[in-house]
A and B are shown apart, each in its own frame.
Chain A
C-alpha cells in the first residue's frame, strides 16, 4: 500500500507521543515489581513446586500415591487434630475478640481504651513462633511463673487438673494469644459500621436493646463474624513455628507431620510432605475463599 508523504511525516511525532504516554505508566508498574517478584519467588513458585511434587514419586514419575497416603489413619488423625485445634482457637478467638472489640467500641469505656487495645492487638497478632512458645512455657509450663505462683500462693496445682502446655488445650491457649487480637483487628471496622441511627430507629419503634442485637446488629455483623472466624481458622491451620516450638513432636498435627516428612531423618518422604502441604493449601484456601465471599456479602448489604 502506498504511503503518503504526510503520513510518513506524521508518524515519528505520534510514536514519540505514544512513548511519552507509556513512560509514566511503565514507571508506575516499576513500583510494584518488588511485590510481584516476591510473590513469584516465595509464593507462586514454591506452591507450584509442591503441587507438582505432590503428584510425583521420589524418581520424579507421576503418581497419585502421595494423595492416597493422605487418607491413611495416622495422617487423617493429624488433619483432624489440626482441625480441632484450629477450630477451637478460631471459635474461642472470634468470640473473645468480638466481645473485647464490642466492649472497647460500644461499651462506653474511657476513650483511651480503644487506641490502646488496637495498638496492643497490632503487636500481639504478630507475636508467634519461638518467642510466643517460650513466653507460654515460661508462664504456664510445669515450672512456669504462673504455675509456680499458683502452687505457692494459691495452693493450686494447675498440672494436677490434667492441664499441660504441651497438650491440645495448651496449644489452643497459645494460639488464642494471637487469634484474639487478630479478631479484634478484623472485626473492628465491621462494628464501626453499625450506625447509631439503627439503634435509635429500633428504639423509636419500640424495640429493646436485646431486640436491636438480635434482629439488627447481629444479623448485620454475622457475615463479618463468620468470615473472620474462617480467617482465624486458616491462620491457625497454617501455623507451624509456634506448634513445633511449643510441643515438638508430642502433638500430631499436620504442620509438624509435614515438617517431619521434609526435614526429618526417620519419616523423610519429601513428596508426601508436598501432598500434606497441598492438603493444607486446600483447607486454608477454602477458608480464605469463604472469608472473602462473606466479607463482600457484608459490604454489599451496607451499600
Chain B
C-alpha cells in the first residue's frame, strides 16, 4: 500500500482553478519531484500536503490516515522553503532546535539531536551564527536540518535551490539526495528545473495548468514524453507537425513527432548508409561539451547535438551532411 496517496485533489481560488483532479501515490522512502513552469500548481499541491492550503475537494492520506483537514502542526510533515524562512532572531542551534522545543523534548535530547543533524548537513562551527551571518547555501542547509531534526513522516522541498548560484546548487542537490537516501525519507521536491528533477528524482510528475501531464521514472519521462508540452519542457526536442513529419520522414501522424537532438546522427555527405536524409548546416553553437547545430533538411530545421570531442568536430555553416534518425528515437506525442 502506498505511503502517501492523493485522490481527486482540486483547488480553486475564487473562479480560478489552480489544481485540477490531482492524483498520486508515493511509496515510503521515495524521492518524487513535481516539475513544471511557474503557475502550474506544483507549489499549491505541496502546500496542501503541508496543510497551509485547504483543498476545495479531494483527499490526502499518509500511512492510511486522512490528513486532508488536519492542522499543519499535527501532520508531522517537514517543509523547506525557497526563501529558507529561518527565524532571524535565532542562531543556527536555536533555529534547528525549535521544532524539538515545540515537541517539549528535554534540553539534553535537543542538544544531542541538534548536534547530530548539524554534523549531517556539515555546519559544524556555525552553531552560534545568526541567519544574516550565513551564505545562501549555509542558510538552506540550516533550513534542511531544521526540517530533518524532528524526523518528519514526509519532507517537502519547495524550490529549495532556486535562490542559489549554480555551483552551490549542484553541491547541495547531491547532498540533499544523499541525506534522503541515508535516512530513507519520503520526499517531495518542487522545481521548474528539468536538470534538477532528472538528477535527483526516483519519479517525476510533470505538471501543467493544474494537471499532471505525465508521471513516471526520470529516465522514462525524458526519453518518452507523452505530450507536446512534456517534450517541449523536458528538453530541446525537435517537434515536427504532421506536415513536416510527412515531408521529412514520410510518416503520417495526427499529433507531433518528437525527436531528441542527441538522437540524430550526423554523417559525412558522401555516406552510403541507407535511410539517411540530406541536410545542410545552417548554424552552430558551442556549448562546452556539446556542439549544437541547426541543420536544414527537406525545408525543416532540426536541432542536433553532438559531443565536442576534438576541435575538428566542429563543422562550419554551409557544410553538406547526411542525417540518420532511428525510428526508435522518434516519439509521436499528443
Contact = CB atoms under 8 A, between A and B. Distances in A.
Our verdict on whether A and B bind, yes or no, reads: yes
Given A206-B150, A207-B73, A207-B102, A201 B87 contact: yes
Interface in A172-209: 195, 197-198, 200-208
Contacts of B136: none
Contacts of A10: none
A303 interface: yes
B78 interface: yes
17 contacts: A200-B52, A200-B79, A200-B81, A201-B79, A201-B146, A203-B51, A203-B72, A203-B73, A204-B73, A204-B78, A205-B98, A205-B102, A206-B102, A206-B150, A301-B88, A302-B88, A303-B132
Residue from the set B87, B103, B150 with the largest chain A CB neighbour count within 10 Å: B87
Contacts of B132: 300-303
B270 to A, nearest CB: 62
B83 A195 contact: yes
Interface in B69-88: 71-73, 75, 77-79, 81, 83, 85-88
Contact of B85 (A200, A211, A220): A200
Interface in B139-154: 146-147, 150
A200 B98 CA distance: 13
Interface residues of B, number: 26
A43 B285 CA distance: 66
Interface in B96-148: 98-99, 102-103, 130, 132, 146-147
B323 to A, nearest CB: 51
A302 B89 CA distance: 9
A219 interface: yes
A215 interface: yes
Residue from the set A203, A220, A303 with the largest chain B CB neighbour count within 10 Å: A203
Interface residues of A, number: 21
A198 B87 contact: yes
Given A201-B86, A201-B146, A211-B102, 15 more contacts: A200-B52, A201-B79, A203-B51, A204-B79, A206-B103, A207-B99, A207-B102, A208-B102, A215-B98, A216-B87, A219-B89, A220-B89, A301-B88, A302-B132, A303-B132
B32 interface: no
A204 B157 CA distance: 13
Nearest to A205: B99
A205 B71 CA distance: 11
Contacts of A219: 89
B88 A220 contact: yes
